[in-house]
Structure 1
Amino acid sequence: MTIHTPPPEGGRIVDEPMGEALSRRYLAYALSTITNRALPDVRDGFKPVHRRILYAMHQMRLNPQAAARKCAKVVGEVMGGYHPHGDASIYDALVRLAQDFAQRYPLVDGQGNFGNIDGDNAAAMRYTECKLTAASVLLMEGIDQDSVDFRPTYDDQDEEPTVLPAGFPNLLANGSSGIAVGMATSIPPHNVGELIDACLALLDRPETTTAELAEIVPGPDFPTGGVAVEGHASILDAYETGRGGVRLRARWEREPLERGGYQIVITEVPYQVQKSKLIEALAELIEQKKAPLLGDVRDESAEDIRVVIDPKSRNIDADSLMESLFRLSDLEVRFPINMNVLDATGTPRVMGLKACLQAFLDHRREVLNRRSAWRIERVEKRLHLLEGLRIVFLNLDEVIRIVREEEQPKAVLIARFGLSETQADFILDTRLRQLARIEEMTIENEYKALSEELASLQSLTSSPAKQWKKIGQELAATRKALISPRRTTIAEAVDASAFVPAEAFIPREAITVILSERGWIRAVKGKVEDPSELKFKEGDALGFLVPAFTTDKLLVAASDGRVFTVGADKLASGRGHGEPLRLMVELEESAGIVAVLAHQPGAKLLIASKAGYGFIAPEDELLAQKRGGKQVLNGDLLAAIRVTGDHVVTIGENLKTLIFKADELPEMGRGKGVKLQSFKQGGLTDIALFDGAHGPEWVDGGGRRRNWPDWKDWLGKRAGAGRMGPRGLRKFR
């Protein structure tokens, strides 16, 4: 019988608190996500997946002059050799590198369907082809000259670069975005010509400030154009701190039509906004009557964007119409700026504009020195070989004799002419025919040219000033190769408050709001003289009849304690049965409607619960911007009554009645409130307000209205138990 003894000291069993174990493992996962997936490198602006795609294409020799290859082939090379993740994620990254509406300077030349600005997806990778662009070549120029460090791939079968040489500041040129664990990055694209000009300014004057750089780089330059309306001060602050944002608007123009009419044509949409979804959103605004100035929208785009917007009336000001749409739709977006990157040591840092450009320049200097050292080594080797060829030329016949006749020609050559082993091997590896054809001038010209190059390289590596000058020359050449006009216009900050609100253009007309018991709402023009003539669906009846104007906001109080806001101009016409209120607000199925009122600025409401609690609420604080309304009361709502008197009268389920002064109630925006009337059992059944100078009225069991001349006998303090009311009292009016 074999006895298994436990391994010494527990072996792979680690005894530690669960909290520490989870913290350590989660930290390792977080660091892996930050450094290997989400954050770009400040030097070349790439995350690992993009760097691996471009390097794999470089290894496949898919340069701009070569024929394109299937994207499936490229994805397979990347996945099999460098990126141990799914093919879908690799292909998505490759597609984005090829989209001219996503990349300011596309790095992949895609052939086939690579998606469009409407949000349509690219074709499958088996149908599309790709190769590198000229910009990609500039980013990888010198990568085979020991200009950057390499590391083993995930399976130790090959090597991959840790960073690309980066011939231009790609991080800021194409931007980047990503979400890691506990941090994120969002860097907008810029114009590469402006970025290189800023780099040249830093080379001339390293003490150049961010404010001076912002004069050269006034703001982001998005591939889809648009108009940035954030303002110089805000953009400068973002460049100083590395955090901020920029408001980006669609570019539009006013096109005149016949008879004094006009239409608005949108030619550029904001960055990362899908045109098709934008048009759907505008159409939904028309359908839901949320854009009173907007008449119609249609897409007339071909290769260029052309979205046509018709105003509701030709009397509407175009600027006011567009300002209202900027607020209501993605015709204006705010692009966040969070320049969180990995520095040269792989440490996450939030860097400003100057720090990013300086990090790029420092990287270019390191690349230049490494390339120079690599070239020096090879030039010295060639010069050494040329010195051997010089000797061969002077003694060509003897050398040929030794090669042909001696058993150990290498040793004889070394001993006879004082050659090194390298020189002797080179001569022996050269064909006799080539040795015989050696020309003195060819050797001397090459020797002279290489000697001059060696001296130049040695001078370059020993002089920082010459290095920076060389970097400036390379950047100037890159600028000529990539320069393109700015697409995004940098405008002054727009003060939206200076524009007339869209509601001001709604015609003020008297209407009557009709809400049925089953929740169908509509509006008829004018006043309803005889409610009995109103028609409803079978089994339905009148619930609320509210006089209002088309410019009013309706306050709809529900039994679950929420108050919703509905624009009277958005209600269906009274020709039909209307539409369900639940389509306009997020009203729970179990909740009923307690009150419907036309909002009066400055007015107040008495809010009361079935449990007998209440308070006074300012109407202005009850207006809600969202469909979900505002939670006003903590409890079941019994009544929401406009405050028009100075006394409150309540009646409980026990038929006891209490009257007290309204100023005993607190004023608050939301909550439970204070006790209105005390009950041993049951709760509140009705509540009303009245003016003490006239007294209250009540309704008996037969529905007849009655005066209450001796109401003061029931006057007391709030939260009292009250006393039995007049015979037949059921509710108040």
Structure 2
Amino acid sequence: MVRTLIPEDPSDVHDVPLREALEERYLAYALSTIMHRALPDARDGMKPVHRRLLFAMRELRLAPGAAFKKSARVVGDVIGKYHPHGDQSVYDALVRLAQNFAVRYPLVDGQGNFGNIDGDNAAAMRYTEARLTEVARLMLDGLDEDAVDFRPTYDGSEQEPVVLPGAFPNLLANGAQGIAVGMATAIPPHNVAELCDAALHLIAHPDAKTKALMKYVPGPDFPTGGLIIDSRATLLDAYETGRGGFRVRARWHKEDGARGTWVVVITEIPWLVQKSRLVERIAELLNEKKLPLVGDVRDESAEDLRLVIEPRAKTVDAELLMESLFKLTDLESRIPLNMNVLTQGRIPKVIGLAEALREWLDHRRVVLLRRSRHRLDVIGHRIEVLGGYLVAYLNLDKVIRIIRKEDEPKPVLMKTFDLTDVQATAILDMRLRNLRRLEEMEIRAEDKALRAEQRDLKALIASEPQQWARIADEIKAMRVTFGPKTPLGKRRTGFAEAPTHDEAAIEEAMVIREPITVVVSDKGWIRALKGTVTDLSGVQFKADDKLKFAFPAETTSKLLVLATNGRFYTLDAGKLPGGRGHGEPVRLFIDMEQEADLVAVFPFVGGRRFLVASRGGHGFVVPEDDCLANTRRGKQVLNVDLPDEARVVTTVEGDQVAVIGENRKMLVFPLDQVPEMTRGRGVRLQRYKDGGLADLKTFTGADGLSWTDSAGRVFALSLKELADWRGNRADAGRLPPKGFPRSGRFENGG
């Protein structure tokens, strides 16, 4: 038999545009994810799975101090009654609530293997056991007193709380992580004692801003400790907007050993970083030779965390060593802040610190009023029952006679003694053993006490200041329980300023310092040969390519590249490809225009001065430090307009400038006629009727000008012998002296 999805009755077929159908269904899925899975409720700081876990454990009577029950029993109740999802996802949620390295204030007291900071998984649920903690008891306190609304479970067979009473500020104390559809939440944990102080201040000053509250809540307090290195201004901006992040570093200290040796000991790592993965990462970097200051790493952790970092040599700077580790590993981690929560239990919204505390306090007031009204109803019922007991006590014989003789004693009792239905029922339900306790003084004493409590509760409900005073008392009591002097309440995360180090020193610390020879081909391919290579005859190039530049450097060197567009670019020598192949195009490392070509490549030394010039004959002196670029786009130094282009860069050495043009006319003039600038077109160095500048060099007048011809012969002329070529900048010059190379360049002359 073939089944079909097409209905037999054509009237049951409805035409719906596919776009509308998909939008409607995806919106329903998105809302379900946002409301029932990913975002926490601002009032109790919980997602549905966590709320149902705690409620199910309460129903199983797993209170603090009670006997443990198997986690499988808890998970079974949760998925069977309240949360129709996979058992593993529910167990994972339970495990996380028990991990004191993941949750600042655990809600579940676990017995057995619940995982560790190394990232090892918990044992299967059939092996582990669980019960609630004191924190969870505070979250659930008042459920039997109509503190919150209940709703039917997914199958209608049970009732579950919509939100927990939440006497504990769980949203901020334990934080939350979640990814919904189109939005996410990331709230780090905080210190409860500090949150209590901030809440008390907010009760006393309802209009207090986040800046005032940060006197009490300076920042997150992570279970694994660490150090927050952000500035107060950064923290304030994050807490005011509800978006931002926190830079957290491992806590470390230096331990001295024998004969001047020392090691770095790491005792705390950033939150949610797996220790074993961290050690593996450091070992990988050691193998890749990216941590030249580090000699070895070992994990000596037992109950307390202890990672030992050995330096490569005892002369290494410890802080520089740690900076290199912070830069490349999760020893420094960024913890995001995105306080996206469900306000009023249904509206997704990004809130700040003040609004988060206000949501919790407002919820506590609602819970207080509901519990007070519930208690009033209980007291009213008890007072009514006590009135009936008093009538029974004063007329005991007559009451007994009516009960014995009448077929329906209830209406007779109500008529005879003017009792209510509740009072008559209470008398009839009374056990005989209680008759001896029906003493008038006891009944009247209990009635008096209940009426006094009734008056107090009515006064509380009618007075908002009294309500806030009661909430403040509860918060103060909680602050004592989780105060800074208690093991659980003591602040674990500290604050520090990141030490300022020269970026170049840090970069250098992460590369092993070795000699290399940089080779650049005519077509712009670059590579680094190991060691100082003087004979380059054996270096191979691609077809139709040849050597253009070659010079010694070190793996820690920075290289300056001048292109024909007048821009200087910066390369890290340690990142250049090795010398086994043909290298890689320079353009892969910098963002250079396609029409631009290389003019010069050389190591950055620092402190020198360069004379840069264009083909058109304009140039100026520029400090070397001003040529260093911070981005791939380089730094514009010499301004040129096509078809003009940058032609020469030379190191300033001396007090004279020798310029030769493509027309083979040479000019010598004093260097002081050339201005020093950081960027510009410069001044005219030589005037040309045809062509442009071919080459230039600087020299000391007392030593004279020298050059080398194509045959390797060295020529030198004193300043006196150069009298015919001396003049002022912007002169035309005259044909060079005898023996000057036909190439029109000073070649290797120095």
TM-score (norm 1): 0.74
Aligned to 2:215, the other structure's residue is in SS state: helix
Do the aligned partners of residues 140 and 295 (structure 1) sit closer, same or farther apart at CA in structure 2, a change above 3 Å counting?
A: same
- Letter aligned with residue 441 of structure 2: M
1:66 corresponds in structure 2 to 66
- Letter aligned with residue 448 of structure 1: K
2:168 corresponds in structure 1 to 168
- Letter aligned with residue 399 of structure 1: V
Do the aligned partners of residues 292 and 167 (structure 1) sit closer, same or farther apart at CA in structure 2, a change above 3 Å counting?
A: same
Whole-angstrom distance in 2 between the partners of 1:196 and 1:263: 40
Whole-angstrom distance in 2 between the partners of 1:507 and 1:89: 46
Aligned to 1:190, the other structure's residue is in SS state: coil
1:203-352 pair list within 5 angstroms: 203-352=203-352
State the shift of 1:47 in Å: 0.7
Do the aligned partners of residues 508 and 27 (structure 1) sit closer, same or farther apart at CA in structure 2, a change above 3 Å counting?
A: closer
Whole-angstrom distance in 2 between the partners of 1:349 and 1:389: 55
Aligned to 1:398, the other structure's residue is in SS state: helix
Tell me if the contact between 1:290 and 1:570 (Cα under 8 Å) persists in the aligned partners.
Answer: no
Aligned to 1:335, the other structure's residue is in SS state: strand
- Letter aligned with residue 13 of structure 1: H
Whole-angstrom distance in 1 between the partners of 2:236 and 2:212: 10
1:93 corresponds in structure 2 to 93
2:492 corresponds in structure 1 to 487
- Letter aligned with residue 71 of structure 2: C
Indicate the percent of aligned positions where both proteins have the same amino acid.
Answer: 52
Instruction: State how many pairs are aligned.
Output: 602
Tell me if the contact between 1:547 and 1:598 (Cα under 8 Å) persists in the aligned partners.
Answer: no
Tell me if the contact between 1:35 and 1:346 (Cα under 8 Å) persists in the aligned partners.
Answer: yes
1:377 corresponds in structure 2 to 377
Whole-angstrom distance in 1 between the partners of 2:251 and 2:631: 33
2:46 corresponds in structure 1 to 46
Do the aligned partners of residues 448 and 265 (structure 1) sit closer, same or farther apart at CA in structure 2, a change above 3 Å counting?
A: same
**Residue 587 of structure 2 is aligned to residue 548 of structure 1:** no
Whole-angstrom distance in 2 between the partners of 1:692 and 1:321: 48
Tell me if the contact between 1:56 and 1:78 (Cα under 8 Å) persists in the aligned partners.
Answer: yes
1:124 corresponds in structure 2 to 124
State the shift of 1:420 in Å: 1.4
Aligned to 2:25, the other structure's residue is in SS state: helix
Tell me if the contact between 1:135 and 1:482 (Cα under 8 Å) persists in the aligned partners.
Answer: no
State the shift of 1:437 in Å: 4.0
**Residue 389 of structure 2 is aligned to residue 389 of structure 1:** yes
1:26 corresponds in structure 2 to 26
Do the aligned partners of residues 579 and 90 (structure 1) sit closer, same or farther apart at CA in structure 2, a change above 3 Å counting?
A: farther
State the shift of 1:441 in Å: 2.5
Whole-angstrom distance in 1 between the partners of 2:156 and 2:502: 62
State the shift of 1:285 in Å: 1.6
Do the aligned partners of residues 253 and 5 (structure 1) sit closer, same or farther apart at CA in structure 2, a change above 3 Å counting?
A: closer
Do the aligned partners of residues 569 and 84 (structure 1) sit closer, same or farther apart at CA in structure 2, a change above 3 Å counting?
A: closer
Do the aligned partners of residues 141 and 194 (structure 1) sit closer, same or farther apart at CA in structure 2, a change above 3 Å counting?
A: same
1:720 corresponds in structure 2 to none
Whole-angstrom distance in 2 between the partners of 1:42 and 1:471: 18
Whole-angstrom distance in 2 between the partners of 1:457 and 1:5: 63
Tell me if the contact between 2:177 and 2:187 (Cα under 8 Å) persists in the aligned partners.
Answer: yes
State the shift of 1:160 in Å: 0.9
Tell me if the contact between 1:565 and 1:623 (Cα under 8 Å) persists in the aligned partners.
Answer: no
Do the aligned partners of residues 258 and 402 (structure 1) sit closer, same or farther apart at CA in structure 2, a change above 3 Å counting?
A: same
State the shift of 1:495 in Å: 4.5
Tell me if the contact between 1:548 and 1:598 (Cα under 8 Å) persists in the aligned partners.
Answer: no
Tell me if the contact between 2:320 and 2:509 (Cα under 8 Å) persists in the aligned partners.
Answer: no
State the shift of 1:497 in Å: 5.0
- Letter aligned with residue 174 of structure 2: N
Deviating more after overlay: 402-411 vs 199-208: 402-411
Aligned to 1:215, the other structure's residue is in SS state: coil
> Which of the numbers 492, 501, 506 marks the counterpart of 1:501?
506
Aligned to 1:151, the other structure's residue is in SS state: strand
Aligned to 2:144, the other structure's residue is in SS state: coil
Deviation string, structure 1 residues 161-198 (Cα, Å, up to 9, x no partner): 11100002110000011111111111110000100111
State the shift of 1:691 in Å: 9.2
Aligned to 1:501, the other structure's residue is in SS state: helix
State the shift of 1:645 in Å: 9.7
2:400 corresponds in structure 1 to 400
Deviation string, structure 1 residues 475-505 (Cα, Å, up to 9, x no partner): 1111222231110012246555578424069
**Residue 182 of structure 2 is aligned to residue 179 of structure 1:** no
2:12 corresponds in structure 1 to 11
Tell me if the contact between 1:510 and 1:549 (Cα under 8 Å) persists in the aligned partners.
Answer: yes
Tell me if the contact between 1:552 and 1:599 (Cα under 8 Å) persists in the aligned partners.
Answer: no
2:411 corresponds in structure 1 to 411
Whole-angstrom distance in 1 between the partners of 2:323 and 2:505: 9
- Letter aligned with residue 166 of structure 1: G
- Letter aligned with residue 413 of structure 1: L
Tell me if the contact between 1:599 and 1:619 (Cα under 8 Å) persists in the aligned partners.
Answer: no
State the shift of 1:405 in Å: 2.7
State the shift of 1:522 in Å: 8.7
Whole-angstrom distance in 2 between the partners of 1:693 and 1:525: 31
Tell me if the contact between 1:645 and 1:692 (Cα under 8 Å) persists in the aligned partners.
Answer: no
Tell me if the contact between 1:552 and 1:598 (Cα under 8 Å) persists in the aligned partners.
Answer: no
1:689-704 pair list within 5 angstroms: 692=694
Do the aligned partners of residues 45 and 509 (structure 1) sit closer, same or farther apart at CA in structure 2, a change above 3 Å counting?
A: closer
1:377-526 pair list within 5 angstroms: 377-483=377-483, 484-492=489-497, 495=500, 500-503=505-508, 510-512=515-517, 524-526=530-532
Whole-angstrom distance in 1 between the partners of 2:394 and 2:581: 105
Whole-angstrom distance in 2 between the partners of 1:507 and 1:39: 47
Aligned to 2:145, the other structure's residue is in SS state: coil
State the shift of 1:26 in Å: 1.6
Aligned to 2:157, the other structure's residue is in SS state: coil
Whole-angstrom distance in 2 between the partners of 1:134 and 1:185: 26
Whole-angstrom distance in 2 between the partners of 1:409 and 1:102: 64
Aligned to 1:216, the other structure's residue is in SS state: coil
Whole-angstrom distance in 1 between the partners of 2:357 and 2:268: 29
- Letter aligned with residue 506 of structure 2: P
Tell me if the contact between 1:522 and 1:578 (Cα under 8 Å) persists in the aligned partners.
Answer: no
Deviation string, structure 1 residues 182-229 (Cα, Å, up to 9, x no partner): 111111100001001111111112122211100110011011000001
State the shift of 1:362 in Å: 0.5
Tell me if the contact between 1:176 and 1:185 (Cα under 8 Å) persists in the aligned partners.
Answer: yes
Tell me if the contact between 1:288 and 1:570 (Cα under 8 Å) persists in the aligned partners.
Answer: no
Deviation string, structure 1 residues 343-365 (Cα, Å, up to 9, x no partner): 01510111111111111111000
1:351-362 pair list within 5 angstroms: 351-362=351-362
Aligned to 1:548, the other structure's residue is in SS state: strand
Do the aligned partners of residues 497 and 456 (structure 1) sit closer, same or farther apart at CA in structure 2, a change above 3 Å counting?
A: farther
Tell me if the contact between 2:42 and 2:342 (Cα under 8 Å) persists in the aligned partners.
Answer: yes
- Letter aligned with residue 165 of structure 1: P
1:507-586 pair list within 5 angstroms: 510-512=515-517, 524-527=530-533, 547-552=552-557, 567-568=573-574
Tell me if the contact between 2:558 and 2:570 (Cα under 8 Å) persists in the aligned partners.
Answer: no
State the shift of 1:530 in Å: 8.6
Tell me if the contact between 1:400 and 1:432 (Cα under 8 Å) persists in the aligned partners.
Answer: no
State the shift of 1:286 in Å: 1.4
- Letter aligned with residue 163 of structure 1: V
Do the aligned partners of residues 354 and 568 (structure 1) sit closer, same or farther apart at CA in structure 2, a change above 3 Å counting?
A: closer
Deviating more after overlay: 157-166 vs 486-495: 486-495
Do the aligned partners of residues 693 and 525 (structure 1) sit closer, same or farther apart at CA in structure 2, a change above 3 Å counting?
A: closer
Do the aligned partners of residues 5 and 313 (structure 1) sit closer, same or farther apart at CA in structure 2, a change above 3 Å counting?
A: closer
Tell me if the contact between 1:510 and 1:527 (Cα under 8 Å) persists in the aligned partners.
Answer: no
State the shift of 1:231 in Å: 1.2
Gaps in structure 2 of 5+ consecutive residues = 1-5, 484-488, 540-546, 562-568, 590-597, 605-609, 613-625, 635-645, 651-661, 664-691, 697-709, 713-750
